[in-house]
A and B are shown apart, each in its own frame.
Chain A
Amino acid sequence: MTTPLLSVKGLSTAFGSATVVDRVSFDLAAGEVLGIVGESGSGKSVTALSIMRLIAHPGRISTGSVHFEGEDLLAKPESEMRKIRGARISMIFQEPMTSLNPVFTIGDQIMETLRQHQGMDRAAAKRRAVELLKLVEIPSAERRVDEYPHQLSGGMRQRVMISIALACSPKLLIADEPTTALDVTIQAQILDLLRGLQKELGMAVILITHDLGVVAEFVQRVIVMYAGRVAETGPVGGLFRTPQHPYAEGLLKSVPQLDHVVDRLPAIEGTIPSPHDFPPGCRFHPRCSYAKAPCAAIVPKLIELMPEHRAACIRHTGYEDRQ
Chain B
Amino acid sequence: MTDTPMNEARFQLFLDRIRRSSLPKRLFTHRLFLTGFILFLGVLTMAVLASYLAPHAPNQNNFRYRLGEPNATHWLGTDNFGRDVLSRVIYGSQVSLRIGFMVVIMNAVFGTLIGASAGYFRKLDNPIMRVMDGLMAFPAILLAIALAATLGPSEFNAVLALTVAYTPRTARIVRASVLVVREMDYVQAALASGAGHTRILFRHVLVNSMAPLIVQLTFIFAVAVLAEAVLSFIGVGPPPPTPTWGNIISEGRNYIREAPWISLYPGIAIAITVLGLNLLGDGLRDVLDPRMKVETR
- A interface residues (Cβ-Cβ under 8 A, vs B): 52, 54, 57, 82-87, 90-91, 93, 95, 97-104, 112-113, 116-117, 150, 161, 164-165
Contacts and interface: CB of A to CB of B under 8 A. Distances in A.
Contacts of B207: 101, 103
B126 interface: no
Contacts of B192: 52, 54, 85-86, 90-91, 93
A100 B15 contact: no
Contacts of A87: 194
B189 interface: yes
Given A57-B122, A95-B185, A116 B19 contact: no
Most buried by B among A57, A84, A87, A99: A99
A113 B204 CA distance: 13
Contacts of B188: 54, 93, 99
Classify the interface of chain B: helix, strand, loop or mixed.
helix
B119 to A, nearest CB: 14
A101 B190 contact: yes
Given A99-B185, A100-B186, A117 B194 contact: yes
B15 A150 contact: yes
B92 to A, nearest CB: 39
A93 B185 contact: yes
A100 B122 CA distance: 24
Contacts of B16: 150
B185 A164 contact: no
Nearest to B16: A150
Contact of A116 (B122, B189, B195, B204): B195
Interface string B119-136: 000100000000000000
Contacts of B189: 91, 93, 99-100, 161, 164
A165 B191 CA distance: 12
A295 to B, nearest CB: 37
A86 B122 contact: no
Nearest to A102: B208
Interface string B196-209: 10010001100110
Contacts of A52: 192
Most buried by B among A52, A82, A101, A102: A101
A83 B194 contact: yes
A96 to B, nearest CB: 9
A83 B194 CA distance: 6
Closest 9 CB pairs of A and B: A86-B193, A86-B194, A85-B194, A91-B192, A98-B185, A99-B185, A101-B186, A99-B189, A82-B194
A104 B203 CA distance: 9
B193 A90 contact: yes
A87 to B, nearest CB: 6
Given A100-B186, A100-B189, A150-B19, A84 B208 contact: no
B184 interface: yes
Contacts of B191: 54, 85
A101 B204 contact: yes
Nearest to A82: B194
A86 B191 CA distance: 9
A230 to B, nearest CB: 23
Interface in B103-123: 122
A93 B208 CA distance: 20
Contacts of B185: 93, 95, 98-99
A116 B190 CA distance: 11
B194 A99 contact: no
Contact of B196 (A57, A82, A93, A102): A82
A164 B199 CA distance: 17
Contacts of A116: 193-195, 199
Nearest to B205: A101
A165 B184 CA distance: 18
A98 B184 contact: yes
B194 A84 contact: yes
Contact of A112 (B12, B19, B122, B195): B195
